[in-house]
Amino acid sequence: MDHPARLSIGVIGAGRVGAVLGAALARAGHHVQAAYAVSDESRDRAAALLPGVPLKDVPDVIDGADLVLLAVPDDALAELVRGLAATDAWQAGQIVVHTSGRHGTAILRPAMAAHILPLAIHPAMTFTGTALDLGRLEECAFGITGPDALRPMAEALVVEMGGDPVWVAEDQRSAYHAALAHGSNHLVTLVAEAMEVLRAAGVDDPRAVLGPLARAALDNALRLGDAALTGPVARGDVGTVGTHLRELDRISPEIRTTYVAMARATAVRALESGRLQPSAAEPLLDILADQEPSS
């Protein structure tokens, strides 16, 4: 059955995000008329996720599209929008959606002279660029920024892809993106470093040891916030923290630096939330004051 408000869609950037969102919109009943892909990897991804969709140059992808999806790196977005405006590629009434978490709709201003309809729609999800991601879009939050008049349309697009629309003000877009990067990208670094230390401690399968603990800690943190804090820093156990620092100095001074930064932040949050008493916090923060590993 045809979609009741079927849109013709052009996808610029068949990377991990663009190809998946294009496939999600096609699954919802819209028609992906063309896509732009540069690398061999992107072309293969388009063939897998957007079968039968022709790959064309950017102006041809835009031509005749009701909705243009810009799924390009953050640093390339402004130049792309300006360049297309300079060549009069944009068409009046087109819905122009970019997927950058960092930017709102101000970056689309050069295209607005052509009377496009600007939206920033960013999925708060990490992507593999495979069909696996389509399932992950279910109940995934999408950070939306755009004019109030376009709110129903933006929300409808997100819901059609299986997601949950979350509105973010234009001037809060960078803060929104910083929070997501801090909570996801840095989590990967933290877990990878912890597994490295476990290997150094002789643990054959670090994932089996850390996995259940990390999953439980994440679940508790999402439900309880600072109340989920446990461990030697939250208890003010200076002796244990000192031992950790000496071991990390031996195994990896770089990981020791990460540990110190996170332990300091944890101590401050535990102190502010009342879980760590000031008398216990002072010696703990003293031992964490020197970020340089011993020689």
Query: Mean pLDDT across the stretch 156-170?
Result: 97
Read off the pLDDT of residues 184-208 as tens digits, 9 standing for 90 and up.
Answer: 999 999 999 999 999 999 999 999 9
- The residue written with tokens 């000031």 in the block is 278
Q: What confidence tens digit (pLDDT) does each residue in 75-108 have? A: 999 999 999 999 999 999 999 999 999 999 999 9
Q: What strands lie across the sheet with 67-70, from one edge to the other? A: 31-36, 8-12, 67-70, 95-98, 117-123, 141-145, 164-167
Predicted pLDDT of residue 139? 84
* pLDDT band (50, 70, 90) for residue 5: low
User: Taking residues 16-28, what's their average pLDDT?
Assistant: 96
Q: Check whether 1 has a pLDDT greater than 90.
A: no
CATH architecture of 176-287: Orthogonal Bundle (1.10)
Task: Answer whether 0.85 is exceeded by the pTM.
Answer: yes
Over residues 112-126, the pLDDT tens digits come to 999 999 999 999 999
Domains 8-168 and 176-287 share a fold: no
Q: What is the average per-residue pLDDT within 56-67? A: 97
**Does 293 score more than 70 pLDDT?**
no
Which CATH superfamily hosts domain 8-168? NAD(P)-binding Rossmann-like Domain (3.40.50.720)
Say what percent of the chain tops pLDDT 90: 94
Instruction: Decide if 150 contacts 74 (C-beta within 8 A).
Output: no
Q: What is the DSSP string of 228-286?
A: G--SHHHHT-HHHHHHHHHHHHHH-HHHHHHHHHHHHHHHHHHHHTTSS-HHHHHHHHH
- Is the pLDDT at 291 greater than 90? The verdict is no
pLDDT at 295 over 60: no
The domains of the chain are located at 8-168, 176-287
pLDDT recorded at residue 292: 56
* Res 74 pLDDT > 50: yes
Q: Which two tokens stand for residue 55?
A: 């790959």
Per the document, the length of the chain is 295
Question: Residue 216 gets which letter from DSSP?
Answer: H
- Residue, of 33 and 291, whose pLDDT is higher: 33
